[in-house]
Each structure stands twice: as structure tokens, then as C-alpha cells.
């Protein structure tokens, strides 16, 4: 299991191609790209997608700081903002994530690193199910031992609203909830129950 795996890409991201693509979108809609409101729209969109919305593809992964510990109790961070793009319609989905782990390798992750991991994986087109698993696998690299005893565990829950469902199609607002568990959260029901209880009531 490798941490912070890059998404497989057929080619490297290219801001100039993004600009051209957005320019063609405007023209495809019959808009005058020389009109003052639209004159720099393609450039703004290209910069926004390249430098903000898709930094999980255009920027290197965050550096992860760990600290030695002898703890074997759960650490949980709730309310982590999730802002991503649906791979099918390129419309946003937004919500929050809960990440919990039990140290199994004698290491504590820097608290902000959980948010950074979630944000880096979220900032790219994808589906919520994959995002949840990617975050769980990345944290598990630092938290779950790979020996026969398999100490430590990771649990991730994401709740998000999808604009591809609210703005088109059925046009209904609803929350999608996905979860992924690794290590003892998967193999020990009592650990999983504690994780779910803290997420719901803590």
C-alpha cells in the first residue's frame, strides 16, 4: 500500500488546453467571447480549475508529518470540508468528511495532515466512493501495520450533496453518504462500533 497515490493520467495537465476548452464551451453556447463579461472568462476558468479545483492532479501531494507515540486509542477529526467534482458531469459535490484512526505503527499524524490528505484527493474529478477509499488507504499507510497482527485501523465517512443531482436530472437535494474502513475497524466490530458512535454522537 503506497501513500497518496497519484491518479493515472493519460497526459499531463495543461492550462493552455483548459483555456481553449473553456473558450470553445462559451462559443458552443453562442456567447460573444469579446463581450466584456465573457472576454476573460475562459482564462479565469482555466486558472481556477488548474490552480484550485484540480490541485490533486496539478500539484504534488502534501508532505505528511508523523510523531512517535505509544498510544493505541482512537483519534478522530470531524467536519473536514470536502469540495470535489463529479467525474460524470464535472459538476461540484460538496460536504464534510470524518477521518478516524487508531495508531498501529507507533506514529501519530500531524492533525492538519488529515485535512490535507482529504483535500488533495478531493480536488480532482472523481466519484465519491473512490474518494472515500483513497483517503482511507492513504491514512492506513501511516496507521495500520501490515504484519499478521495488523494493529491499528482507519475509518472514513463522507457526506456530500451532488450538484449533478440537484441542478439536472431528478433535481432533488439529497445527501450521499459513503464509508471505508481498514484494519481493526474492519476486523473488530467493537472498534467499528466506537467509530460510528463517536461520529454520530461525539
Which whole-number Å values give the CA distances from 23 to 17, 45, 156, in the listed order?
Answer: 10, 9, 38
Question: For the chain, what are the domain ranges?
Answer: 15-53, 66-201
Report the C-alpha gap between 15 and 12 in whole angstroms.
10
pTM score: 0.92
Which pLDDT score is estimated for 1? 41
* Residue whose C-alpha cell reads 482529504 in the numeric block: 118
CATH 3.40.50.970 assigned to 66-201: no
**Helix ranges, 54-183 (H):** 55-58, 111-122, 128-143, 163-166
Report the DSSP pairing between strands 75-86 and 125-126: parallel
Residue 191 has pLDDT above 90, yes or no: yes
Q: Tell me the pLDDT tens digit for each residue of 63-96.
A: 999 999 998 999 999 999 999 999 999 999 999 9
pLDDT category of residue 4 using cuts at 50, 70 and 90: low
Report the C-alpha gap between 105 and 182 in whole angstroms.
14
- Angle formed by the axes of helices 111-122 and 128-143, to 10°? 150
Average pLDDT, the chain: 93
Report, as an integer, the average pLDDT of 133-138.
Answer: 97
Amino acid at each position: 500500500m503506497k501513500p497518496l497515490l497519484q491518479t493515472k493520467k493519460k497526459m499531463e495537465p495543461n492550462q493552455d488546453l483548459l483555456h481553449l476548452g473553456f473558450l470553445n464551451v462559451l462559443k458552443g453556447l453562442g456567447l460573444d467571447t469579446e463581450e466584456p463579461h465573457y472576454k476573460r472568462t475562459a482564462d479565469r476558468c482555466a486558472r481556477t480549475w488548474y490552480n484550485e479545483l484540480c490541485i490533486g492532479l496539478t500539484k504534488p501531494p502534501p508532505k505528511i508529518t508523523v510523531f512517535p507515540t505509544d498510544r493505541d486509542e482512537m483519534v478522530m477529526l470531524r467536519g473536514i470540508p470536502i469540495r470535489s467534482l463529479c467525474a460524470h458531469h464535472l459538476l461540484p459535490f460538496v460536504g464534510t468528511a470524518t477521518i478516524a484512526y487508531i495508531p498501529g505503527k507507533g506514529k501519530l499524524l500531524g492533525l492538519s495532515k488529515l485535512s490535507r490528505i482529504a483535500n488533495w484527493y478531493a480536488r480532482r474529478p472523481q466519484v465519491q466512493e473512490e474518494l472515500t477509499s483513497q483517503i482511507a488507504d492513504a491514512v492506513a499507510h501511516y496507521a495500520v501495520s501490515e504484519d499478521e497482527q495488523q494493529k491499528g485501523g482507519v475509518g472514513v465517512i463522507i457526506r456530500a450533496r451532488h450538484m449533478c443531482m440537484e441542478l439536472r436530472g431528478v433535481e432533488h437535494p439529497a445527501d450521499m453518504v459513503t464509508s471505508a474502513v481498514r484494519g481493526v475497524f474492519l476486523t473488530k466490530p467493537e472498534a467499528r462500533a466506537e467509530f460510528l458512535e463517536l461520529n454520530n454522537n461525539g
